[in-house]
Amino acid sequence: LLERTKASDLLAKQFGLPPEHPLFHSLIVHFENGVPIQVEDRWVNPACAPEYLEQDFTHTTPNQYLMAAAPLQGATYSIEALPAPRAVADMLAVDQRTCCLVLKRQTRGLGQVASVVTMWHPGQLYQFAGQVG
């Protein structure tokens, strides 16, 4: 799914924009070797990425495009384990009771919120790890 839409009250608050402000929205299922590994539900500020809707996300990822269009100035994120809602479970080809690792992230670029994304990962396939510095 790739569409232009209007910000709900909650999204407007997350972006620091007025309600009903235009946003871009994408819903993408990522696969590895034919297996669905991630559902990415992303909202994008058109001021930061005006050509977002023209991208071919079969050849690049939203993250790659956004890093070029609005270089990362900062991000906030949370990770939690949640049962997959029916629509997400269907897209990931898992049982609805399956716990997923859910990453919610807000990124800033060009001095404003560039994107808000929720990424669902089948819990049995993933762990998150990292290092800073």
Mean pLDDT calculated for residue range 38-52: 98
DSSP 60: S
Mean pLDDT calculated for residue range 110-120: 98
Q: Which residues contact 116 (CB under 8 A, 6 or more apart)?
A: 11, 14, 15, 42, 43, 104, 105, 106
What Rg, from alpha-carbon coordinates, does the chain have? 15
* Burial class of 124 by CB neighbour count within 10 A (0 to 12, 13 to 18, 19+): exposed
d(CA 27, CA 8): 17
pLDDT tens digits for range 60-98: 999 999 999 999 999 999 999 999 999 999 999 999 888
- Whether 34 shows a pLDDT value over 70: the answer reads yes
